[in-house]
Amino acid sequence: MTPPPSPSAVLRLGDVAALRAQVRAWRNAGETVALVPTMGALHEGHLALVRQAQARCRRVVVSIFVNPTQFGPNEDFSRYPRVLEDDIALLAETGADAAYLPDVATMYPPGFATTVTVEGLTDVLCGPVRPGHFAGVATVVTKLLLQALPDVALFGEKDFQQLQVIRRAARDLDVPVAIEGVPTVREADGLALSSRNRYLSDEERRAAPTIHAVLQRVAAAVRGGAATAPALAEGRAALEAAGFGPVQYLSVNDAESLAPLDRVAGPARVLVAAYLGRTRLIDNVAV
Ligand code: AMP
C-alpha cells in the first residue's frame, strides 16, 4: 500500500526578524505573500481564509497570537483555547507555508505605548459593549501587517465590523497591503464556525442555529425597503424564546459606514451579538 502523501512541513517563525527574513527570501525569489491573522484554535473557517490566500498568492503565512489587548477584563482571555500542535497539523494538511507565532513580549515589548483607534465605525455594534476591543484589534493587526508586509491580508466576514475597522485603519495609515474579506463558513445547520463554539453545552449547541435563522428572516423582511424596527423586534423575541440572553444588539446597518438603518436602500448587513449561557456569539448576513 502506498502511504498517503505526507503534508508539507510548516515553517515556525517566532519573531519579527525571522518573519521578515522569510518574507524577504520569498520576495527575492519573485513570490507573492499572503497573511492570515488568527488567534488559533483553527477550524474550517480559518482554513477557508488560508485557501483563498493560496488562490491569491504563492506563499501563505498564518499568524497565531491570542492578543491580550483585545479582551476586556471580564472576557475569556485566560480560558481562550490554545491548541498549537493541532493548529500546526491543520495548517500542514492545508498546505500553508509558515506559522508566525510571536509571544506577548514580541508584540508588546516593555514601554509599548502606541494604540491605533478607528473612530466612528467603532461607536456602534460591538464597540460600546466591548470598550477597547477594536483598539486592541486595530493595533495588533496594524503591527502584524507592518511586520509581514504581505501583498494581501485576509479576514472573515464573520467578524464584519472588525473587517471594516481593519480596512479603514489600513487605508488611513497607508499600509501597503490589500485587505480582502472572505465569506463566513457555517455548519450544515447554519451556525457560523467559531473557536468559541466549543464552549457550548449540547443543549446550547442545539439552540445556537436560531441565530442564523433569525438573521436570514430579518434580511428577507427588510430587503424590499420595509421599516427595520418590526423585523428586529420579532427577531429579538425569537432569540430570547430560543434561550439567548442578553441580546446585546440585533441591528440592520449600512455595509460600509455601519450606520444603523431604519430602512434599507443600498448594501446593508443584519448583525447580532447575543449570549447563549456564558458564551457570546456574533454573526451577520448580507441583506
Ligand atoms: P479568530 O481566530 O477568531 O481571531 O479569527 C481569525 C480570522 O478568521 C478572522 O479574520 C475571522 O473573521 C476569521 N473567521 C473566524 N471564523 C470564521 C468563519 N466561520 N468563516 C470565515 N472566517 C472566519
Q: How far is the CA of 154 from the centre of ligand 1 (A)?
A: 10
Q: For a substitution probing ligand 1, which of 38, 43, 46, 165 has the most ligand atoms within 8 Å of its CB?
A: 46
Q: What is the mean pLDDT of the chain?
A: 96
> What's the pLDDT at 141?
98
Q: Which of ligand 1's atoms lies nearest the C-alpha of 158?
A: 12
Angle made by CA atoms 218, 223, 229, in degrees to the nearest 5: 50
- Position 8 confidence tier, pLDDT thresholds 50, 70, 90: confident
CB-CB contact of 254 with 268 (8 Å): yes
Greater pLDDT, 58 or 3:
58
Q: How far is the CA of 46 from the centre of ligand 1 (A)?
A: 5
Q: What is the pLDDT of residues 270-281, one digit of tens each?
A: 999 999 999 999
Contacts 24+ apart (CB under 8 A), 253-259: 253/124, 253/125, 255/286, 256/164, 257/120, 257/121, 258/121, 258/124, 258/125, 258/161, 258/164, 259/124
> What's the pLDDT at 6?
63
Q: For a substitution probing ligand 1, which of 84, 134, 158 has the most ligand atoms within 8 Å of its CB?
A: 158
**At residue 95, does pLDDT exceed 90?**
yes
The pTM score is 0.96
Establish whether residue 53 lines the binding site of ligand 1, counting it when its CB lies within 6 angstroms of any ligand atom. no
State the Cα–Cα distance between residues 170 and 163, nearest whole angstrom: 11
> What's the pLDDT at 225?
95
Tell me the mean pLDDT in the region 111-134: 97
> What's the pLDDT at 68?
97
Q: Which of ligand 1's atoms lies nearest the C-alpha of 194?
A: 16
Active site residue 46: yes
Three cell numbers written together for 159: 467578524
**At residue 2, does pLDDT exceed 90?**
no
Q: Which of ligand 1's atoms lies nearest the C-alpha of 155?
A: 10
Q: Chain-centre distance of CA 9, in angstroms?
A: 25
> What's the pLDDT at 7?
72
Q: How far is the CA of 155 from the centre of ligand 1 (A)?
A: 7
**At residue 5, does pLDDT exceed 80?**
no
Q: Which residues pair with 183 in a beta bridge?
A: none
Establish whether residue 39 lines the binding site of ligand 1, counting it when its CB lies within 6 angstroms of any ligand atom. yes
CB-CB contact of 245 with 263 (8 Å): no
Q: How far is the CA of 106 from the centre of ligand 1 (A)?
A: 23
Tell me the mean pLDDT in the region 140-163: 98
DSSP 240-258: HHTT---EEEEEEEETTT-
Q: Which of ligand 1's atoms lies nearest the C-alpha of 156?
A: 12
Tell me the mean pLDDT in the region 36-59: 98
SS3 99: strand
Q: Which of ligand 1's atoms lies nearest the C-alpha of 162?
A: 12
Establish whether residue 134 lines the binding site of ligand 1, counting it when its CB lies within 6 angstroms of any ligand atom. no
- Position 94 confidence tier, pLDDT thresholds 50, 70, 90: very high
Q: How far is the CA of 77 from the centre of ligand 1 (A)?
A: 17
Three cell numbers written together for 16: 519579527
Exposed/middle/buried for 3, CB within 10 Å: 0-12, 13-18, 19+? exposed
The percent of residues above 90 in pLDDT, for the chain, comes to 96
Tell me the mean pLDDT in the region 237-265: 98
> What's the pLDDT at 4?
58
Closest by CA to 271, choosing from 189, 216, 191, is 216
126 Rama class: left (phi>0) / alpha (psi -120 to 50) / beta: alpha
Q: Please give, one letter per residue, the 3-state secondary structure of 80-91.
A: CCCCHHHHHHHH
Three cell numbers written together for 42: 483553527
Establish whether residue 49 lines the binding site of ligand 1, counting it when its CB lies within 6 angstroms of any ligand atom. yes
**At residue 60, does pLDDT exceed 60?**
yes
